[in-house]
Amino acid sequence: MEYCIYELTITRIGEEAKSLLQDHNMMVIFGPDIPDSLIDVCYVHDSKEMKEEIEIGDKVYFDNQEYEVVEIGNVANENLATMGHCTFKFNVDVDEEKILGGTIYLKGENVPAVNLGSTIKIFKNA
């Protein structure tokens, strides 16, 4: 049975954040304590409380669009739990990609449309 381990709502979108998502299939998120130097490239959100660590096979929903976690960088869980920060990378060949420490790699249809008020929910695939 699936259960939610992390939930957030997008409260601000940096000027360059949408182009990173559309042009490079990557989305950088950061909690409310974001450094000023990162605001332009990030989707800022309202929460950083994570109930459990994210694992391969878990599901991530951007509003209602579903993705599966296929790889996780070695500091992504820690960064998400402490700062609300990680990078989501969509639909890349993780066998050929250098796995970056703060990145969560996702597989799904296209890239999501993320706007102000959009929610991101991560479910444990139990």
The H or E element that residue 124 is part of is strand 119-124
Which residue type sits at 2?
E
CA dist list (Å): 96 to 26, 92, 99, 109: 16, 8, 9, 20
pTM for this entry = 0.94
Residue closest to 34 by CA, chosen among 26, 45, 21, 18: 45
pLDDT of residue 126: 66
pLDDT digits (tens, 9 = 90+) for 80-96: 999 999 999 999 887 77
* pLDDT, the chain, mean: 94
CA dist list (Å): 92 to 13, 66, 78: 24, 16, 23
Q: Hey, which residues does 27 pair with through a beta bridge?
A: 88
Q: Which domains does the chain have, with CATH numbers?
A: 3-124 (2.40.33.40)
